[in-house]
């Protein structure tokens, strides 16, 4: 997941943009998810039925213009535990979420 350098977009506008993007995709439109944004970082929670949907929701949120990073706490079969370790690679400005405890 990449942390994007961008002009600061208010968190409430980013949240609305993410929700609109999820609603616009037929694969994610009917999902009941919780989306929050703090300091440009999207926080996702809820449940989905597959790892593919888990990844898709994260990708849609990450590609939303202005989103600096994503914390994916969605539960799905085969997905990493929501309490997983998140690593920050400061040099490349990339968030690396390995999905496993170290």
CATH code of 85's domain: 3.30.1340.30
Number of domains in the chain: 1
Give the dihedral of Cα atoms 12, 16, 19, 23; nearest 10 deg: 170
Task: Quote the pTM value.
Answer: 0.75
Q: Is residue 26 part of a domain?
A: yes
Using alpha carbons, select from 41, 19, 43, 21 the residue that is nearest to residue 32: 19
Which two structure tokens, joined as six digits, stand for 86? Answer: 């998140």
Q: Is residue 39 part of a domain?
A: yes
Q: Is residue 2 part of a domain?
A: no
Tell me the residue range of the domain where 74 lies: 11-96
Q: What is the pLDDT of residues 21-70, one digit of tens each?
A: 999 999 999 999 999 999 999 999 999 999 999 999 999 999 999 999 99
Q: Is residue 1 part of a domain?
A: no
């Amino acid at each position: 997941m990449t942390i994007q350098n961008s002009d600061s977009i208010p968190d409430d506008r980013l949240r609305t943009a993410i929700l609109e993007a999820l609603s616009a995709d037929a694969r994610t439109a009917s999902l009941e998810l919780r989306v929050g944004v703090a300091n440009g970082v999207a926080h996702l929670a809820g449940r989905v039925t597959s790892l593919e949907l888990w990844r898709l929701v994260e990708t849609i949120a990450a590609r939303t213009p202005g989103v600096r990073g994503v914390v994916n706490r969605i539960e799905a079969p085969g997905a990493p535990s929501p309490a997983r370790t998140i690593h920050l690679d400061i040099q490349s400005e990339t968030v690396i979420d390995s999905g496993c405890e170290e």
